[in-house]
Structure 1
Amino acid sequence: MTADLRELSQRDWDRWYGTLERAFGGLHEAPEERELWDDLTEYDRSLGLWDGEECVGTAGAFSFRMTVPGGALVDAAGVTMVSVAATHRRRGLLTSMMRRQLDDLRERGEALAVLTASEPAIYGRFGYGAATWLFNVSIDTARVRLTVPAGTDEVRLRYAVPAEAAAACEAVYARVVPGRPGMLARQPGWERLPLLDPERDRDGASPLQCVLAERGGEVVGYAYFAVTSGWEVQGPKGVVRVRAVEALDPAAHAALWRFLCDIDLTSRVESLNVPVDDPLLHLVSDVRRCGLVMRDSLHVRPVEVGAALEARTYRAPVDVVLDVTDAFCPWNEGRWRLTGDPKGASCKRADDDAPADLALSVREVGSAYLGGVSLAELARAGRVRELRPGALAEASLAFGSEVAPWLPHGF
């Protein structure tokens, strides 16, 4: 079909966003949530597909700064709000939006695109690879105890009004961001996201609560959470629903999790987003009773392979020629020579006669980019081919990260 693909105008936002809501089940979000996303929408980065006066497709992007291995903050387009009306499926509309969007990102000079996938099977064909993972946790606090490090008892905890404590919490968050690949520096306006707490979406839980961790009068950590009350014949069975925990040191981190696991009249602590290497997993007495469920989180797509690979550093010296395939963005096709170490990197087009060391698609480059997925494991899945003996071990070690990459919140 012929559809009009055009940049979103502010007057069309309600219809555009309504199309997105319908695609995700048809339930309208709370007014304060819609207001936040309206305010955060970047109109010049948002696309709508129109069949006459009807909006039948949506796609947008946010201007993010994301931590990459080595600690640098790199521009990354946060692809979001993607939908196609069920009445207009299988007509190439999603492909047309992805095509336009990636072309636009290239024109803007952005080397990376990232997204969270409602259905992971959708985005691999556009070159996105799963790059970060997370744990859902559900801790049975009647049976699990925490062993905390020295100094934990020196951390002072106090309740705070979330809105009044927001500046102190954001200062902690900003200090944590450079230390973990995949984290997003919060741009103006995004500090409102952790405080979003529509009453209709609480599902019986309390309003958002905040506890600050302090040492020597300085805020060194915080937790956002809510509590759901519950009772049974044997006694209380309340649930602590953790929204975020950030801390500047092990003692503050342990103090916050110990507090959350000791709240009166509760028997379970749940969080839907914990890093796969979170210290919590080594504090609990019985990890089997923490209900760990692992799932994919951030998907990464190099828009410009050379610029993307130059933007990060490498855990060990590396000098390899990558033979990259990229059917959707053919400007990335071909051989790239990557040289790098912990101090920096260069990634340029290789000479035509340079033999390739590894062969892979841009999707595998994206999966390995943040250091949480190894090239070696992708090779065992048949998705990376070693063409020079030893090249796989060299590159896999170099691409790795000492800290697991992690996305702290959705978008």
Structure 2
Amino acid sequence: MSIEIRTIHDSEISDWLRAIFTGFLRPPVVSEEEVAARRPGMDLDRVQGAFDRGRCVGTFRSFEQRLTVPGGARVAADAISGVTVSPTHRRRGLLSRMMARDLAAAKERGDVVATLIAAEYPIYGRFGFGPSAWGTEWQVETARAGLDPRWAGPDDGGRVDLGDGADYRALGPELHERLAGERAGLVSRDKRWWQRASGELRFPVEEWKEPYYIFHRSPEGRVDGVAAYSADGHWEAKQPQGTITVRELLAATPEAERALWHFLFSVDWVLSVRTGHRAPDDVLPLLLPDPRAARVVSHADLLWTRLLDVPRALEARTYPVSGSLVIEVQDPAGLAGGRYRLDASPEGASCAPTTASADLSLSMGDLSALYLGDESPVRLLALGRVVEHRTGAAALADALLRTPRKPWCPDIF
């Protein structure tokens, strides 16, 4: 019997969740409370299931999102999540079929890009996705860091205050919106995101540990930064061995960023701080008098993007220099391939299909990896993944597309 792929009905949510739990190696038990908690966040028109003789053996969902691109514009994104294929049904093309349906629908809606967080690196390149924002996590020994452990607060008239989950829900969204107008790679957050992040909304299958919340206020009283963290108050032989794990740290000003980190490194009984996923060029190591105290414990791809409309995507972002390029984009899926002329300058950009000879040729996945400004066309040229038809074209693409700060996506979705 052929396997049917379609959107699901309300009565199938439990079976669909059971398939997700199986794919992500969680106990395959779904309570009524679990269904009730998750159902309001599911747009069933964008939730697919693969069904074999009535049982769900594959899952896929997407939802509306906005992605910040270089320059601060925010483009419509098709955010993909909850992708699994049961171990009994691998290598049958189920993911390919679900992905094709979703991307075609996103293209029809007018979404500019698709986004996802890849559980495994090798899966999504064949669908035209590329890793466009990476994340780095450091573990810092507080004694070696060199910051004053007796720090009592900012010396510029600002302050750091403790708060709670209600404060986080009230103050965090406005701060995040400020950052989302500046930092490429940030994605939009809806009300349910803030409810889950603060524990107001809990899924029964997920363990919740209440974090601490701190807020930085400028001398004028404006909230310019927030951090959420958990602490392990472990002791051995009457000696504290505590570790702070940062869940979130957002700062709209350099002063707020420095103050929040300094606070975290000055908490009593704490020997180390784990930073959570930060941008690879985060200020943190150089904020420390001894940057060697910050040891990289994880550096990996985080946000993957896939362009669905090349002209709109390239016109939405900004460019630091002027230049023109003709780019040949190979897209086996047939969604957005072709030859395009990009005319860009600091004042704006235009991009349109062209019949002119190409300066560069590359895959959709590689163009998507370049889109937010992290990857280098020159490096991809050295790898043989970009073909240069005009001498110097890769260097020009590098000058046009690279950004002073790396993109950063602090969210897992």
For the aligned pair, the TM-score class normalised by the smaller chain equals over 0.9
Could you tell me the TM-score, scaled by structure 1's length? 0.92
Q: Which residue of structure 1 aligns with residue 15 of structure 2? A: 15
1:410 to 389, 401, 412: 412
1:65 aligns with 2:66: yes
1:146 aligns with 2:147: yes
Which region of structure 1 is more displaced relative to structure 2, 110-119 or 263-272? Answer: 263-272
Give the 5 Å matches for 1:159-170: 159-170=162-173
Give the 5 Å matches for 1:311-350: 311-328=316-333, 330-350=334-354
Distance 1:401 1:30, change over 3 A: farther
- Counterpart CA distance in 1 for 2:365 and 2:255 is 39
The answer to whether the 8 A contact 2:330-2:337 is kept is: yes
The answer to whether the 8 A contact 2:323-2:396 is kept is: yes
Deviation at 1:30, TM superposition (A): 10
Letter in 2 for 1:298: L
Give the 5 Å matches for 1:329-408: 330-351=334-355, 354-408=356-410
- Counterpart CA distance in 1 for 2:36 and 2:216 is 31
Q: Which residue of structure 2 aligns with residue 124 of structure 1? A: 125
- Post-superposition CA distance 1:371-390 (Å, at most 9, x none): 01121111121111111012
- Counterpart CA distance in 1 for 2:343 and 2:280 is 29
The answer to whether the 8 A contact 1:131-1:368 is kept is: yes
Q: Which residue of structure 1 aligns with residue 57 of structure 2? A: 56
SS at match of 2:25: coil
Distance 1:84 1:159, change over 3 A: same
Q: Structure 1: where are the runs of 5+ without partners?
A: none
Q: Which residue of structure 1 aligns with residue 273 of structure 2? A: 269
Deviation at 1:298, TM superposition (A): 0.4
SS at match of 2:145: coil
- Counterpart CA distance in 2 for 1:332 and 1:305 is 6
Distance 1:319 1:257, change over 3 A: same
Distance 1:360 1:222, change over 3 A: same
Letter in 1 for 2:2: T
Moved over 4 A (4+): 28-37, 150-153, 197-203
Q: Which residue of structure 2 aligns with residue 226 of structure 1? A: 230
Q: Which residue of structure 2 aligns with residue 171 of structure 1? A: 174
Q: Which residue of structure 2 aligns with residue 235 of structure 1? A: 239
The answer to whether the 8 A contact 1:152-1:254 is kept is: no
- Counterpart CA distance in 2 for 1:342 and 1:37 is 44
Q: Which residue of structure 2 aligns with residue 100 of structure 1? A: 101
Q: Which residue of structure 2 aligns with residue 214 of structure 1? A: 217
- Counterpart CA distance in 2 for 1:106 and 1:200 is 34
Distance 1:356 1:209, change over 3 A: same
Letter in 2 for 1:235: Q
Deviation at 1:103, TM superposition (A): 1.0
- Counterpart CA distance in 2 for 1:22 and 1:297 is 23
The answer to whether the 8 A contact 2:243-2:274 is kept is: yes
- Counterpart CA distance in 2 for 1:331 and 1:45 is 19
- Counterpart CA distance in 2 for 1:211 and 1:34 is 33
Q: Structure 2: where are the runs of 5+ without partners?
A: none
Distance 1:37 1:261, change over 3 A: farther
State how many pairs are aligned. 405
The answer to whether the 8 A contact 1:153-1:255 is kept is: no
- Counterpart CA distance in 2 for 1:154 and 1:30 is 51
- The alignment-based identity, stated in percent, is 34
- Post-superposition CA distance 1:116-138 (Å, at most 9, x none): 10001011111110110111111
- Name the Cα RMSD after superposition: 2.3
- Post-superposition CA distance 1:336-370 (Å, at most 9, x none): 1111122322221112xx11100100011100000
